[in-house]
Amino acid sequence: MTEPHARRSRLSKRALRVWAWVAGGLAFFSPWVALGLSPKPVARSVQTYGQRPVIIIRRITRRVVVQDAARPTAPQIRYVGSSSSGASAVAPPVTTTSGSHP
């Protein structure tokens, strides 16, 4: 009862690093292994009805109509002429202002 307990032997640093790398690799790859081993889901629509699956694609079609801008039309100008001789032309009426300047 009084004899000393035997000391446990410790692993070297190299062995501890190897075990750490192995544990890290297993932890990293375990999700992919679990996904690879899981069964794939079966498409019910194909098995039940024996038809191809229906894929609905919503498309929005927009029609763009480009029209030239309306050109502004020039005002219709109508020339009213008098006779070719200046004597028969009527002079415009003389207007006066009631101001002091002539």
Residue-wise DSSP of 23-76: HHHHHHHHHHHHHHHSPPPP-HHHHHH-SPPP-------------PPPPPPPPP
Query: 57-67 in b/e burial notation, b at 16+ Cβ within 10 A?
Result: eeeeeeeeeee
Per-residue tens of pLDDT for the chain, all 102 residues: 678 888 888 899 999 999 999 999 999 999 999 999 988 877 655 455 567 777 777 777 777 777 777 777 777 777 777 655 555 556 666 666 666 665
Query: How many Å separate Cα 20 from the centre of its chain?
Result: 47
pTM for the whole thing?
0.34
Q: Which residue has the tokens 């100008």?
A: 77
Q: Where are the domains of the chain?
A: 11-65
Residue 31 in tokens: 């999700």
Q: Which residues contact 90 (CB under 8 A, 6 or more apart)?
A: 82
